Structure 1
Amino acid sequence: MRLHWLVIIAVLLLAACSAAPSPDQSPVSAPLHGDELPGRLLFSREGGVWLWEGRTARQLIAPPATQPAFDPRGERIVYVAARAGASDLWVADGSGAMLAQLTRNDPAAPPGSIERVYAAMWAFYPVWLPDGSGVLAAAQAAPPVGDPPADAPFAIFRYALNGQRQPVFADANAHIGRIVVLPSDELIAVRTVLGSEGQQQLYRIAGGQAEPLPGAPTPAYDPAVSPDGKWVVFAVGINGGSDLYTLPAAGGSPVRITDLGTARAPVFSPDGTLLAFLAIPPGERGFDLYLATVTVDDTGLRLGPSRRLSTGFAINPDAGLSWTR
């Protein structure tokens, strides 16, 4: 049978995307208004990609589109389009106009058919290389095999902008999920051991070798790295909820920096002085955007008081946030 955590991801993505009309038929969602945000921030809601600029958020890419990421210059966007048991990587320009399709995981076989099950694949969590020459993503090396079908573990692949891909790192005993790239070109990635019921760990990957990030608790996920590459902020699962922790990118003692009980999906501002993240406001159900000042001194990285920027945006937390000037 298909692996438990993959089924959860598929259900979440398809619930947001598969029922949506195709991009050329989708109505443009009404803009949303919140507090002022410096720069430009991407997020996902209602199955599409949204851009927050100033005090206004508007749909930039129609459904199905999720997990967006700006390139290093803020000129292009890579994102995931999920449809009926498969997902692909696409690249758009800053206005949301399509530039390229990097993967072709969505087969011609009709949805629900056994032929489609054995032909479709997934790709998730794209991130740009520091020089903007390509994209890293978590993807499968091959379609499902066996009877019943079993999915191959997710591994890290590098995708050139012409769609050619190269393997970067694979672990036969685990799925690799969200990835961040350090200035040293080393990676920090979320690793989930097969059969561990979703116990996510942060691993540092360098030279084709992986080891646990020293000091990172378990479960830990949603990593974000500071612009100078010195600090990692990530979510830690706590009693059914989550809060943000930080530690040096080389490892160290973790420090809790939020106390909201639902905080996740952090992202640094381009200059590293602010941290945006998602959390569910008390008494509400959906995720909204929060912002806090970042201070780094001899005692480590700390956050100032957080303030809520949006109201009722219902942002998709698994899609993450991407911030550029």
Structure 2
Amino acid sequence: MKRRLSIIFLYFLIGLISACATTSVSRTPTPPASLQGDTVSGRILFCRDDGIWLWEERTARRLLSPPATQPAFSPSGEQIAYVIVRDGASDLLIADQTGTVLTQLTHHDPAVPVGSLDRVYRAVWAFYPTWLPDGNGILAAVQAVAPVGDPPVDAPLALFRYDMTGQRQIVFSDSNAHLGRSIVLPTGDLIAVRTPLGRDGQQQLVRIVNGQATPLAGAPTPAYDPTISPDGNWLIFAVGVNGGSDLYALPVGGGAAVRLTDIGTARAPVFAPDGNTLAFLAVPSGGKGFDLFIAEVKITAEALALGTPRQLSTDFAIKADGGLSWTK
């Protein structure tokens, strides 16, 4: 009988391979301390294989060492929520703006041997932290139940709210899908990425209101990496196009999605705090991986458009799924 391998089991296989490796050679280029390109207003967080990096003005430096990933600045910019992924489990942590760890919200690392099947059943996964607007907690996609079966089948990721003490409350779950990156609208409604279980499940954006999720009207499929403008009026997200991806904009109040880029690899958008600039990741022509781009945002009464994108980094090999976060 065919069984669907879950994301948990896939991570188990990856961890097992890593545990068995005797040597490791990094292929990720190390960026210089002084970057060439435009001066950035404020601070941008991004991820590479060697941890979480901070771009400030024209200088980039590593802020948090691996296995730190998926950072998110708090609304004040004084704290950073992020994920550590290691040995078949992942946890949510909070650091201050200097990278000093303040607290660990979850403790998903079971006291069983690394690489064992027992660890697959007992470990728990957490991903994609995003701050609540008041800065007093985060939302995250977290495994709600242990996997079952042999091999383990899907244990869906649900959306949980965590306060700063690690106390959690489930916000939304779907037994037939994984919930991923989410954002909070000014109304308190949520926009989240939903991926149906199974090999052919395509990521889609859903709107969650009063515990009910419905496909986001006007959003193409597959869609992922949602972000919201600081004024709360526009959503920008990545859409799968011809095996690649580009950015689309959609009014929060409803309407038709408009394509913003024609690069073929654009994803992970984030607005500047003033809403006048958008940063995103893309693979430039002839590039070795994802690099950082910025573009001016042009908003009229009825439309949002981007100016000509400008590439900031070269051969930085940024991890697209780690996302971007921008603060003052």
When the two structures are superposed, what TM-score results if normalisation uses the length of structure 2?
0.91
SS at match of 2:119: helix
SS at match of 1:108: coil
In the alignment, structure 1 residue 134 sits paired with structure 2 residue 137: yes
CA distance in 2, matches of 1:306, 1:91: 32
TM-superposed deviation, 1:172: 1.2
CA distance in 2, matches of 1:69, 1:56: 19
Give CA-to-partner distance per residue, 1:174-223, whole Å, 9 cap, x none. Answer: 11111011122211000111125240000011111111110100000000
2:82 to 79, 83, 97: 79
TM-superposed deviation, 1:244: 0.4
Cα distance change, pair 174–129 in 1 and its aligned pair in 2 (3 A): same
Cα distance change, pair 269–151 in 1 and its aligned pair in 2 (3 A): same
Instruction: Tell me the equivalent position of 1:194.
Output: 197
Cα distance change, pair 18–89 in 1 and its aligned pair in 2 (3 A): farther
1:152 to 145, 152, 155: 155
SS at match of 1:79: strand
In the alignment, structure 1 residue 70 sits paired with structure 2 residue 105: no
SS at match of 2:52: strand
Question: How do 1:31-180 and structure 2 match up within 5 A?
Answer: 31=33, 33-35=35-37, 36-180=39-183
CA distance in 2, matches of 1:72, 1:247: 23
Unpaired stretches in structure 1, ≥5 consecutive residues: 20-27
Question: How do 1:263-282 and structure 2 match up within 5 A?
Answer: 263-282=266-285
Cα distance change, pair 157–235 in 1 and its aligned pair in 2 (3 A): same
Unpaired stretches in structure 2, ≥5 consecutive residues: 22-29
Give CA-to-partner distance per residue, 1:112-160, whole Å, 9 cap, x none. Answer: 1122111101000000100011110001112222332224211100011
Question: How do 1:263-302 and structure 2 match up within 5 A?
Answer: 263-302=266-305
Instruction: Tell me the equivalent position of 2:24.
Output: none
CA distance in 1, matches of 2:281, 2:327: 17
Q: Structure 1 counterpart of 2:169, which letter? A: Q
Instruction: Tell me the equivalent position of 2:27.
Output: none
CA distance in 1, matches of 2:198, 2:231: 36
8 Å CA contact 1:225, 1:232 repeated in 2: yes
TM-superposed deviation, 1:51: 0.4
8 Å CA contact 1:13, 1:82 repeated in 2: no
8 Å CA contact 1:124, 1:177 repeated in 2: yes
Cα distance change, pair 12–273 in 1 and its aligned pair in 2 (3 A): farther
Moved more, 107-116 or 67-76: 107-116
Cα distance change, pair 256–29 in 1 and its aligned pair in 2 (3 A): closer
Give CA-to-partner distance per residue, 1:234-288, whole Å, 9 cap, x none. Answer: 0011111110001111332010000111100000000110000000000122100
SS at match of 1:115: helix
TM-superposed deviation, 1:300: 0.7
CA distance in 2, matches of 1:290, 1:52: 12
TM-superposed deviation, 1:7: 5.9
Cα distance change, pair 187–15 in 1 and its aligned pair in 2 (3 A): farther
In the alignment, structure 1 residue 237 sits paired with structure 2 residue 247: no
1:254 to 257, 262, 280: 257
Cα distance change, pair 29–215 in 1 and its aligned pair in 2 (3 A): closer
Cα root mean square deviation, aligned:
2.3
8 Å CA contact 2:52, 2:63 repeated in 1: yes
When the two structures are superposed, what TM-score results if normalisation uses the length of structure 1?
0.92
Q: Which runs of 4+ in 1 moved over 3 A?
A: 1-19
SS at match of 2:36: strand
CA distance in 1, matches of 2:257, 2:18: 34
Q: Structure 1 counterpart of 2:164, which letter? A: L
- Aligned-pair identity in percent equals 61
Q: How many residues align?
A: 317
Give CA-to-partner distance per residue, 1:77-125, whole Å, 9 cap, x none. Answer: 0100001111000110000001111111111111111221111010000
